[in-house]
Amino acid sequence: MPRTLVVVGAGVSGLAATLHLSRVVPAAKVLLLEASDRTGGWLQTTRTEEGAILEHGPRGVRSAGTVGTNTLQLVSEIGLESELLPITYNNAATKNRYLFVGGKLCKLPTSVRGAFSRLPPFSQPLAWSLAREPILPRSKEEDESVHAFFTRRFGAEMADYAVDSLCRGIFAGDCRKLSVRSCFPPLFQAERSWGSVLLGMLVGSGAVKWDGAQTEVMKRARREGWAQWSLCRGMQSLPEAMEAALRAKGVEIHLHTPVTEIRPAADGGCQVLTEGGILAADHVFSALPAGVLGPLLPPAWRPLAQALGKINSVSVAVVNLEYEGRVLPVTVMMGGSWFTGAFGDPQKVSKEHLLERAKEAVQEHLGITGQPLTAIVKVQKDCIPQYGVGHWKLLADISEWTASHLVPLTLLGASYDGVSVNDCIYQAQRGVERLRG
């Protein structure tokens, strides 16, 4: 009999894993289960009648590196090339970066000359911090916070201003708690291998070379210097195209199908319990967040559930505002590690309160006044995992325990090895390859 493989969770990780399974294990029966009424997870777009594209999750995808190239290959495979909206490194939106410090917008240097000038909020030129970094001693610590790492290598101001803002933007998290080894592995590996972040990055320390085929869209991205890209009809077009490709292959996608338990079966496989019955699976791929998966596991797998429970996530309020006469809508993202302190319980916070705070921020930062034509408020609960210091060791323990106990379960998704769309797709495919191998 052909194997039965069950993928739980139809966000971008689950969709990517299912697509890869349909390619590399064509004889298997593959089922994709999703609790909600749609696929795509945090990739969610509202398309207004007036033509505005409002994103409630990720708004773009980076094209650089192996993981970026891998996603572009997927885009080609599912026929989305004509929908691509690239942003090049020469674009003003890419070159211009600002920090909001002390109630003012401070522009970061955009040229070599700028790096040698003293620009607020920094008390000295950034070139000084960069010049001394290669001669500093390397650390022997197995891990440390992002803030501690950058303070050592580049100084307190770089950590307090630039890196703190970076971590808020990517992880909605506190750089004093996030792990540099797990959040920025190339930088950690560069210091460990070369004794310098800058030297290691120059020689490409830890970079994995793309060894696949070169599609036309990959060549175009390299030729035109893409920094990132989006899609004409919004980022939700990506999971929509992935779902369509799966249905064309005859893969079963079951929406409105929450999983209530995953437990071992006598034959070495798994039983996946849903409200509609029990599914027998030879192997399960979970693309659920760690905090959601843990409570579904049986007492026999308690050590695994306990480890998963240590991977925390934060909630983010996403407020989309559309103003008359503006070319682009404005998106305000609030909360993260500071959500409860700023707004209270994410389950109870008033959307009206979040909307007023967002409009105040737009007026203060951008000078935009008046009432928006469109306002959509969404609280994305527990949407971004937080890789705390020691996260790498937790993952190693999870891997060792599942392997030694022959658990027929592969963990996928943003809870483990990267929170970006690129990371989720790439790691989902690698998870499939590990089972196949």
pLDDT in tens, 189-200: 999 999 999 999
The β-bridge partners of 29 are 4
User: Rounded CA gap, 396 and 398, in Å?
Assistant: 5
**Domain map of the chain by residue range?**
4-43+236-311+388-436, 92-183, 313-385
- pLDDT averaged over the chain? 94
Answer with the residue of higher pLDDT: 101 or 344: 344
* Confidence at 19, pLDDT banded by 50, 70, 90: very high
Q: Which pLDDT tens digit goes with each residue over 345-373?
A: 999 999 999 999 999 999 988 888 889 98
User: Rounded CA gap, 393 and 356, in Å?
Assistant: 42
**290: enclosing H helix or E strand:** helix 290-293
Whole-number pLDDT of residue 6: 98
State the residue for tokens 């501690």: 148
Task: Report which DSSP code applies to 145.
Answer: B
CA 205 from centre of chain:
22
Q: Which pLDDT tens digit goes with each residue over 215-263?
A: 899 999 999 999 999 999 999 999 999 999 999 999 999 999 999 999 9
pTM metric for this prediction: 0.95
State the residue for tokens 């070169």: 214
What's the chain's length in residues?
Answer: 437
User: Rounded CA gap, 260 and 279, in Å?
Assistant: 12
Instruction: From 133, 126, 125, select the one nearest 150 (Cα to Cα).
Output: 133
User: How many angstroms separate the Cα of 50 from the Cα of each of 97, 186, 321?
Assistant: 30, 43, 13
Mention every residue, 6+ apart, whose C-beta is less than 8 A from residue 366: 330
Task: Report which DSSP code applies to 388.
Answer: B
Question: Does residue 1 carry a pLDDT above 60?
Answer: no
Whole-number pLDDT of residue 205: 63
Instruction: Measure CA of the first residue to CA of the last residue in the chain; give whole Å.
Output: 20
* Confidence at 113, pLDDT banded by 50, 70, 90: confident
Q: Which pLDDT tens digit goes with each residue over 137-158?
A: 999 999 999 999 999 999 999 9
Mean pLDDT of 322-348: 89
Whole-number pLDDT of residue 99: 87
Pairing of strands 374-385, 313-322: antiparallel
Contact, 320 vs 57, CB < 8 A?
no
CATH superfamily of 4-43+236-311+388-436: FAD/NAD(P)-binding domain (3.50.50.60)
CATH no. of 92-183:
1.10.3110.10
Instruction: From 40, 70, 182, select the one nearest 430 (Cα to Cα).
Output: 70
Whole-number pLDDT of residue 370: 86
* Confidence at 411, pLDDT banded by 50, 70, 90: very high
